[in-house]
Chains A and B, each alone.
Chain A
Amino acid sequence: MSGHSPRYVTEVRKQDGAGPEQPADRGVPIQAVPLRHPGRWCASAVLVFLVVFLVQGWATNPRMQWGVVAEYLFAPAVLDGLRTTALLTVLAMAIGVVGGVVLAILRMSSNPLLAALSGFYIWVFRGTPLLVQLLFWYFLSAVVPTVGLGIPWGPTFVEADTNQLITQMTAAVLGLGLHEAAYMAEIVRAGIASVDDGQTEAAHALGMTRRQTMRRIVLPQAMRVIIPPTGNQAVSMLKTTSLVFAIAVPELLTSVQGIYSRNFAQIPLLTVACVWYLVATTVLTLAQRYLERAFRKESSS
């Protein structure tokens, strides 16, 4: 019996891999031969070859007219277009965010009519193409020739020609902004819903009104959930502004198109537009990352 038990113990230790026979194993890093991935290497080689081939062909193609790209990259018309694109993005997003907050609060209202109206708005504006909406605003004067302020079915005090009131620019801002509001409404609603009910109760218990609770307690916390998708929406909006070339607003794409309709250098000028869109989206992405970090720090440091 006594002769058996020591061997039994040794066996168990061997299984553990930490027996007294191999004390050197402890703490020594494993020097393993790395696993090879030949498939990955092949795929990488093929892709690198393709990229080099395409870029080289693109860059050295004389018809790309790189000189034209360089010539127009900082042309006043292009920079004006870029400014208009930036302005459209800012205004449309502002309308989108404010409208989205209002729609989200209405949607969550205990009044069924308000909630239904908000739902109806979202249904209409998300359910029809943006391009159609833009054209709709642009041609509004055809069915509503004048816009006035007065008493319904009564006298009108101020009246204006719709064509003068809704210029191409306002049609573009309205179209982009009101469409965006429908999307932002869902984002804001998700953000508000993410805030624990206990926060609202605590604020109410302190004597805060519903409005104060929303503004001081709920919305600041909802921001953490709202900001990342809003950043995506802003980047997306920047690119979507190019749609307004359909109603001839002189933004980046329209300016570029105006130039290539005269010199027929379509691809070089579209390249100019792409360069600026990339620059702008990169800036927006960096700004978004900064904002996200700032809000994360504030709420959970």
Chain B
Amino acid sequence: MTATVVRAEGVRKNFGDVEVLRGIDLRVAQGEVLCLIGPSGSGKSTFLRCVNHLERVDAGRLYVRDRLVGYEERGGRIHELSDKAVAQQRRGIGMVFQRFNLFPHMTALQNVMEAPVRVAGERKEVARRRALGLLTRVGLADKCDSYPSQLSGGQQQRVAIARALAMEPELMLFDEPTSALDPELVGEVLDVMRALARDGMTMIVVTHEMGFAREVCDSLAFMDGGVVVESGPPEAVIGSPRHERTQAFVRKVR
């Protein structure tokens, strides 16, 4: 039995009167790749953002490595964590955004070095060497000194992956990483993610790429209306969905 990295128990989230998450139960084991699929507005991105506390959970429990995310349970009560403690928790969780969100005033190399130097206090030469290694790993060794505006969308997203990996996370979150890309650039990003999965990285991927989901992920969860409608091995969920809503969704995206 492998260790559990992420454990969600009845996670709920409201934006004002709108219930975006209505009780999510999910588990992600070490080295597992979980894909979240579902129509837009189903809450999959919101759930992902709860995992590193970019959104606060309103009810239920969400654990990463048996530590409550964004909160602390002490003396039978739940306490909010300080800004510093939250930042500390996020170090171990890498995130890749739909719109890349690279820092435009820094080169690719500086983007990757920023967190190791500023957050982990790594020496600049060490961070530079590692950053070079990471950029080589995503196939961008020759783009070190380029600014994000000089890179294509696919290259930017690969830098963003390298940037997240620089903190040596034990969990990677991908929020529709290929949705903002031109179709011909999707492949290069998926290749990098495929390689990461092969290397045993624990990943949660919100995606519309059914081919990728079917091929790479170990388990798949279909979300709709703020709940997990159906989950299981990808071939089961995509191949022979049991639930009516899943069937309708799979029919449309295939």
Contacts and interface: CB of A to CB of B under 8 A. Distances in A.
Contact of A299 (B83, B93, B104, B115): B104
B90 A207 contact: yes
Contacts of A221: 103-105
A289 interface: no
Interface string B186-228: 0000000000000000000000000000000000000000000
Interface in B215-250: none
A116 interface: no
Contact of B105 (A202, A205, A212, A220): A220
Given A202-B97, A205-B164, A216-B114, A210 B90 contact: no
B149 A206 contact: no
A19 B160 CA distance: 55
Nearest to B104: A299
B94 A217 contact: no
Interface string A287-301: 000000000001111
A161 interface: no
B149 A207 contact: no
Contacts of B90: 204-207
Given A210-B83, A300-B147, A205 B104 contact: no
B95 interface: yes
Interface string A97-110: 00000000000000
Nearest to A300: B149
Nearest to A221: B105
A209 interface: yes
A111 to B, nearest CB: 13
B97 A198 contact: yes
A199 interface: yes
A205 B93 contact: yes
A60 B89 CA distance: 77
Contacts of A208: 87, 115, 118-119
Which among A203, A206, A208, A299 has the greatest number of chain B C-beta atoms within 10 A?
A206
Interface string A263-301: 000000000000000000000000000000000001111
Contact of B104 (A203, A204, A212, A300): A300
Given A204-B54, A205-B54, A205-B94, A298 B119 contact: no
Interface residues of A, number: 22
B104 A198 contact: no
Contact of B87 (A207, A216, A217, A301): A207
B118 A201 contact: no
Nearest to B163: A206
B136 interface: no
B93 A202 contact: no
Nearest to B90: A207
Contacts of A299: 104-105, 147
A202 B97 CA distance: 8
A215 B228 CA distance: 39
Interface string B78-99: 0000011001101101110101
B54 A201 contact: yes
Contact of B103 (A199, A207, A300): A199
Interface in B133-179: 147, 149-150, 160, 163-164, 167
Given A198-B97, A198-B99, A216-B114, A207 B105 contact: no
Interface of A: 196, 198-199, 201-210, 212, 216-217, 220-221, 298-301
Listed from nearest, the 5 A-B pairs whose CB atoms lie closest are A207-B91, A202-B101, A205-B95, A206-B115, A198-B101
Given A201-B97, A300-B149, 10 more contacts: A198-B99, A199-B103, A202-B97, A202-B160, A203-B103, A206-B114, A207-B88, A207-B115, A207-B120, A221-B105
Interface of B: 52, 54, 83-84, 87-88, 90-91, 93-95, 97, 99, 101-105, 114-115, 118-120, 147, 149-150, 160, 163-164, 167
